[in-house]
Chains A and B, each alone.
Chain A
């Protein structure tokens, strides 16, 4: 399992712009991993840049061979589903959510259903300040 903790590994909280995100996506290396945990807690990620990190992980996972590929996203942003899902996935090229508009929960879920064809299961885990799990949402 590969765990990527953006706050502790990259030392910056504000990842709300393109250049900071590009630097991170260059450094992430998850080749041949089957289980990736992306910890976004204590980070501030803005759309559409957050989706660039997600895309990087999904792309690499889809290239690794075998079955049982798993991707967990840990996030501590408590808001309604539309806001959370859009702030994470809006702008994702992999999920084809690039219409330059916001998406409904159903549209985002429909995009994930396509992912199951690549053999990847995705879980979104919402945690509190102490990183205790509050809610787990299976996206595909």
Chain B
């Protein structure tokens, strides 16, 4: 949970984060409208009362903070008050929460060197292996953006490969989901992206949570904008609801960059297909809406309309995935 306030002159944005920064709950955090971002000089993050964190939770917080900093025209610096719980404070450092923020801070912020290995933490009595937050630094050149995606996919593979002997997971199938998400961010936005990954080792199963998000405008607005510019599109289809635009996005061959030479409109349909195939519970948070897209039987308008609901406020754009894997048993039937 968090609360955000800005003073009357709009000098500071104060984020009070507590008590848990886990899972997708931050999606429901009250996020100030963009005009408040634009007036922020300093961003103050009070994490004093944080009692538990995970990679996914921190990634969501990070995306919101970076978005806030990006949106500010007067931004100067970020101040962070660390958690009073020393262990939690160490976890936040180990998960690399500060490092991406350092990229955007001029003064006034410390940031430790990033941990490169997965750390095991205890979150509410459960053993969790959390990967450090992955920051996809795309840069401006097209080739660098695509290379960042390749490096990111290699990293994802490293995280999942050790699990293959014990759990029915094919790292290279999951890589494809992450790769398509990263490619979409690299090709369709100007900004960086972030990924968080948590492995919950419960008695009966392994539960994997992941979040992938960027600072872009989201699929819905992107498609609406593209179709508005497309003279061949019918007037009636220009008034796109979220389910309409996702129906378009999930259709093989539908792309907003038809002449790019690389985008062939398969990414989103692959994300949907693989998530369904693997039983991943995949949620999409897009501006004012969110929904578990894999609950839909197919990608028709009517099915997608059933899964999206209005979150009441802008929550940015990101995917949140949950995957449960039972250990492989050698028992023969």
Q: How far is the CB of B229 from chain A (nearest CB, A)?
A: 18
Q: Does A80 contact B (CB under 8 A)?
A: yes
B261 x A46 contact (CB < 8 A): no
Question: Which chain A residues border B176 with CB–CB below 8 Å?
Answer: 44, 77
Across the interface, B179 reaches (CB within 8 A) one of A16, A48, A129, namely A16
Given contacts A13-B157, A44-B179, contact A101 B258 (CB under 8 A): yes
Q: How far is the CB of A56 from chain B (nearest CB, A)?
A: 20
Given contacts A17-B146, A86-B264, A102-B265, contact A80 B171 (CB under 8 A): no
Q: Mark A26-63, 1 if CB is under 8 A from B, else 0.
A: 00000000000000001110111000000000000000
Residues of B132-159 contacting chain A, CB below 8 A? 146-147, 149-150, 153-154, 157
Interface residues on B, range: 20 to 34
Question: Which stretch from B4-12, B53-61, B63-71, B268-276 is at the chain A interface?
Answer: B268-276
B277 x A46 contact (CB < 8 A): no
Q: Does B173 contact A (CB under 8 A)?
A: yes
A24 to B171, CA, bound (A): 21
Residues of A73-130 contacting chain B, CB below 8 A? 76-80, 82-83, 86-87, 90, 100-104, 129
A83 x B273 contact (CB < 8 A): yes
Question: Which chain A residues border B149 with CB–CB below 8 Å?
Answer: 16
A86 x B252 contact (CB < 8 A): yes
A43 to B154, CA, bound (A): 12
From B168, which residue of chain A is reached at the shortest CB distance? A129
A102 x B253 contact (CB < 8 A): yes
A100 to B170, CA, bound (A): 29
Question: Which chain A residues border B170 with CB–CB below 8 Å?
Answer: 42, 76, 129
* Count of chain A residues near B, Cβ 8 A: 26
From A91, which residue of chain B is reached at the shortest CB distance? B264
Q: Does B260 contact A (CB under 8 A)?
A: yes
A14 x B264 contact (CB < 8 A): no
Q: Does B175 contact A (CB under 8 A)?
A: yes
Q: How far is the CB of B168 from chain A (nearest CB, A)?
A: 7
Question: Which chain B residues border A76 with CB–CB below 8 Å?
Answer: 170
Q: How far is the CB of A92 from chain B (nearest CB, A)?
A: 13
A101 x B179 contact (CB < 8 A): no
Question: Which chain A residues border B153 with CB–CB below 8 Å?
Answer: 14, 16, 44
Given contacts A14-B157, A44-B179, contact A102 B172 (CB under 8 A): no
Given contacts A17-B150, A83-B270, A100-B258, contact A44 B172 (CB under 8 A): yes
Q: Does B38 contact A (CB under 8 A)?
A: no
A87 x B150 contact (CB < 8 A): no
Given contacts A14-B153, A14-B157, A43-B172, contact A83 B179 (CB under 8 A): no
Across the interface, A101 reaches (CB within 8 A) one of B168, B175, B264, namely B264
Q: How far is the CB of B158 from chain A (nearest CB, A)?
A: 10
B171, B175, B270 interface centre (most CB from chain A within 10 Å): B270
B157 x A86 contact (CB < 8 A): no
Q: How far is the CB of A10 from chain B (nearest CB, A)?
A: 14
A83 to B173, CA, bound (A): 13
A48 to B261, CA, bound (A): 9
Q: Does B62 contact A (CB under 8 A)?
A: no
Q: How far is the CB of B141 from chain A (nearest CB, A)?
A: 15
27 contacts between A and B (CB under 8 A): A13-B157, A13-B171, A13-B175, A14-B153, A14-B154, A14-B157, A17-B147, A17-B150, A44-B157, A44-B172, A44-B179, A47-B264, A48-B262, A48-B264, A76-B170, A77-B176, A78-B173, A79-B270, A79-B273, A79-B277, A80-B269, A82-B269, A83-B273, A87-B270, A101-B258, A102-B252, A129-B168
Known pairs A17-B147, A79-B270. 19 more at Cβ < 8 A?
Answer: A13-B157, A13-B172, A14-B154, A14-B172, A42-B170, A42-B172, A47-B264, A77-B176, A80-B269, A80-B273, A86-B266, A90-B264, A100-B258, A100-B259, A101-B253, A101-B255, A102-B264, A102-B265, A129-B168
